[in-house]
Amino acid sequence: MGELEPAIPEHLRTVRTQPLRGPADFVPQHASHSARFDQSVKRLSIVYVGVQYRDGGVDAVASALAKIEHSFQGPTGPKHHDQTRYVDEAGYVNHVYAAYWDDEESHKEWSAAQSDDWWHPDASVTGEYGFFKEEYTPSVEDGETTFSHPCPEGISKIADHMSGETDTHEYWGSARDRIPRAQTEDLEPAEETTPKMSAKSSKGRHVRVQPRENLCVLRSGSDWSETKGSEREFFLNKVWPAYHKGMIEIRDEGLSFGCFFNRAMRHVERGEEVEKAYSLSAWNSLSDLERWVKADTHLAIWAAGIKHFKAAGDQAKLRLYHEMFVVKAADQRFDYFNCHDKTGMLKAGSVDTG
């Protein structure tokens, strides 16, 4: 391991008034890398668009997905997007796109050019399909990324480059220490924890959920497509089962931990699932997430991952990463169209009767 660099790039560092969580002179044992955006990038745009159904014609789903995919084309469309699929806790199949921009004006121009129903094209609120659109427009100071290998995924696909090996990981609280805004802010919510909405279910209607301050949004992924032999066997038999158990826990019991929703999804390429996956979760606060990572279920995931990389050594092919943002209320928007009441932020919200 060569000379290490801070996870926060130099142009985003400032005089720290919040304490570091890491021990003095801590040196990590394994490599980690962070995405580096050009200094001209001030704000990012992330849009998750989902289609959900229990039964129905495959052709109708394919048509909706094709129209959403088509909307991403053009000079102001996202610089990168990916597609995933999963079955949620209510038994609905969900297809989800994640789309990314690194230019706020391009995203605004693109949004203005779309029809109002671009994310639920030609759909009826009494039809067989539900649709959701969840948008985040955080500042680059609101987030952090970390990768076991310098191989970008998610938002990092549109970064300028990947860093060298960094010094800010492998200790409790390191994710917070990688967030530029956490140098001077505690990132705690500034209001009550329950999101507000006009109705509990969006079945038969369009519901918008009221944003809240300092929502913590985590995309955490893995790519095991290049693993072979004993490394592949260990991942599939030890790491993946522990991960799956943890994802089910925060999906089904997440509200007791401060997790509003969790989706564990497989990447889809050319219509087929591939050996890449990520979970997307939204938390009441970064502090709530920090508490859960010390829970037994997550500790089992962490221990399995450490054993995996120790056994595989420098030749490890398993790629792990996450991107996390603590998002201000003004930089969030949640829309649900004919979705069941366990979808996204609908699961956690209370009806606003005011």
Q: What's the CA gap between 148 and 166, in Å, rounded?
A: 10
- 322 near 281, Cβ under 8 Å? no
- 134 near 44, Cβ under 8 Å? no
Instruction: List residues bridging with 196 in a β-sheet.
Output: 210, 350
Side-chain half-sphere CA neighbours of 176 within 13 A:
25
Work out whether strand 196-197 and strand 350-351 pair parallel, antiparallel, or are unpaired.
parallel
Q: What's the CA gap between 34 and 150, in Å, rounded?
A: 8
Q: What's the CA gap between 155 and 100, in Å, rounded?
A: 6
Active-site annotation, residues:
322
Side-chain half-sphere CA neighbours of 277 within 13 A:
16
- Tell me the two tokens of residue 322: 């996450």
Instruction: List residues bridging with 101 in a β-sheet.
Output: 45
> Which runs of consecutive H residues, i.e. helices, occur in the chain?
58-71, 104-113, 174-178, 229-234, 240-252, 286-292, 296-312
Task: State the Cα torsion 200-206-207-213 to the nearest 10°.
Answer: 150
Q: What is the 3-state secondary structure (H, E, C) of 291-326?
A: HHCCCHHHHHHHHHHHHHHHHHHHHCCCEEEEEEEE
Angle between helices 240-252 and 296-312 (to 10 degrees): 160
Cβ atoms within 10 Å, residue 106? 16
